[in-house]
Each structure stands twice: as structure tokens, then as C-alpha cells.
Amino acid sequence: MRMAPPIAVPSGDGQPVVVFPGLASDHRAIEPLISFCRRLGNPTYDWGRGFNGGPQGQIEPWLAGLASDIAQISVAHGQRLSLVGWSLGGIYAREIAKRLPDDVRQVITIGTPFSGAPDDSNVGWLYHLLSHQPTTLDAKLQADLSVAPEVPTTSIYSRSDGIVAWQSCIQLGQRRDVENIEVDGSHCGLGWNTKVLSVLADRLAQPESGWKAYAQ
């Protein structure tokens, strides 16, 4: 297991954080992210589903069950929480935030392909996985996934990702609290990438009532 490198970053404000792993990974892959968030002073949890093999059964009831469990963490802490998702895990984070706007404070995705055409080679597998149908039939799903949650949303992407097309990680629109932040690194190394961790720390340090853009 790789450990998050020591870097000088602002401390969080104690908000709870839930981290979602990418496809075909589990808590071990996101342990550097979890440890880093805890070091900032944030109670941090993994997603509670073990190995991420994609949604089990139909996507809507599966997401509803996952959202219900996440909501309980917010209730237990008595405050809204932040969701961090790597790759496919970022899709879960975004969709849960859409279902729990009163419980979720913000969403941060890392190398998550939520945009782009469903038959693109780098994202077609994702739409197929979520819909259980051929990618050519997924225009509605594509449109739904590309809509940002109604909470502050940050998409971290890399042009040198190597697995997903960076263009598919870009959130379109002009909302002040929606950002796309570029880093340099491979998809599989984003979980302990120093720039990713710096962005994560900065976003977790933002006050709810005083959101400001990331200073690149």
C-alpha cells in the first residue's frame, strides 16, 4: 500500500468524508486518500461496500441503498459530509449527492469520466456497466450523469491519465461553485498524487458559507 506523501496543507474543519474506490478496487486502493483526510482532522470512511465490481442489480435501487447508508453517516455526525470519488467511485459520489443535497456538503471527483459520448472507447465501459445495456442506447444515462450535483463540485483530471479521456472529466457550465482542476499524473497514481492531495485539502478547508475558487 502506498502512503500519502507529507505535504504542507491547510487543515480541514472536522467535516466527515466518505471516499469511494474506482472499478475493480477496494479500501486498500483508497487508503492513502482516507489516511490523508484523517490527517487533516476529518473523520473519514470508505464507501462500505468492499470490492467495487460495479452496481449490483438495477442501478436505481442500488444507488438508493448506498445513499441511505451515506445519509446515516451525516446523521451520526450531525453535519453535512463531503464525498470523494476516484474514477467510477466519482460517479457514485455525484449521483448520491443529487439524491442527498441536504446531507452532502460537496463532491470531489478524481479521474471520473462523467461526460462525453457513451460510445467513446474510454468511457463506453462505464455506461455499459451502469445501464447493463449496449452503450449505443445510453443517451439518457449520459445526459443524466453529465449534470453536476446541486452542491459545490470539483473535478480533478489529468491530460496524461492514460485510462479515461481527460475531456470526459470536464464539467460544462458556468456555475461559480463548479470547478475543473488539472493535475499531472497517471490514472492509477492519482490517489497519492501530491497535487491531487493539495487540491483535496484545499477543498475540504472551504467554509460552507464562503466558497471560493481554487487558486491554481
User: 154 - beta bridge partners?
Assistant: 108, 179
pLDDT at 122 (0 to 100): 60
Structure confidence by residue, pLDDT tens digits, 165-202: 899 999 999 899 999 999 999 999 999 999 999 999 99
Q: pLDDT by residue (tens digit) across 46-68? A: 999 999 988 888 888 999 999 99
Q: What is the pLDDT of residue 83?
A: 98
**Domains of the chain, first to last:** 17-204 (3.40.50.1820)
Quote the CA–CA distance of 75 and 112 in Å, as a whole number: 27
Q: Residues 94-125: pLDDT tens digits?
A: 999 999 999 999 999 999 999 876 555 465 66
Q: How far apart are CA 194 and CA 197, in angstroms?
A: 5
- List the grid coordinates of 94: 455525484
What is the rounded average pLDDT of the residues 128-152?
76
- What is the predicted pLDDT for the residue at 137? 45
pTM of the predicted protein model: 0.91
